[in-house]
Amino acid sequence: MTLRPEQQQVLEYFEQKGRRLPAAQIRERVGAALAALEEALAGVGAAEARRRPLAGEWTIHEVVDHLVETHRPSLGELRDLLAGRRPAGPPVPASLQSADPMARSWPALLAELRSLHAEALAALAGASDALATAARAPLVMVINAREPDGRLVPISWIEELDWKAYAVAAFRLHALDHLNQVKKTRGAA
């Protein structure tokens, strides 16, 4: 498969900001992203979380439901990688949501997200630079790429990642991506 330049950039990012970084920096960077997301969500009330100011976009409530539904299995996959095992099963779907994203109460959803974040950081706290493992997890990568005519189009593929790159992708970058979505939604309200 021939990779587009945008895909090559993503892979280089994972090499430089994942595999090559010390475990302490991975923990710090993941922790900072999760804290920034939680801080932004702390100022959102239940009514605001349910509003849909942008047609065709998720509400903040739906974003958090998506984060909970994806971080839950991602945490299991991260734990497998840290134990030197390849996670069983297929990769976590990119746009996973619960059967009824708006059914859970906003406080309960936020509490579960914080709990999952704490568990991810606890798992990473036990990782060290001495952890060298050949275990890889498949992760669905989705990026936007510009076509020659200027249109942005989504590109997706599955990439096999080690524990460092996986932590960066599944937790840090995922949190930052949805933090920007929350900010955009709040700005449009």
How many Cβ atoms are within 10 Å of 174's Cβ, its own excluded?
22
Domain that holds residue 178: 5-188
Q: What is the SS3 assignment for 98?
A: coil
161 or 1, higher pLDDT:
161
Banded model confidence at residue 131, pLDDT cuts 50, 70, 90: confident
Q: How many domains does the chain have?
A: 1
Average pLDDT over residues 56-81: 96
Largest CA distance in the chain: 48
Closest among 40, 3, 38 to 143, alpha carbons compared: 3
Placement of tokens 């509400």 in the chain: 59
CATH classification of the domain holding 52: 1.20.120.450
Banded model confidence at residue 54, pLDDT cuts 50, 70, 90: confident
Measured distance CA(3)–CA(178) in Å, rounded: 25
Predicted local confidence at residue 134, as pLDDT: 86
- Tens-place pLDDT, residues 13-38: 999 999 899 999 999 999 999 999 99
The CA dihedral of 125, 95, 133, 37, to the nearest 10 degrees, is -20
Q: Is residue 189 pLDDT above 80, yes or no?
A: no
Predicted local confidence at residue 102, as pLDDT: 94
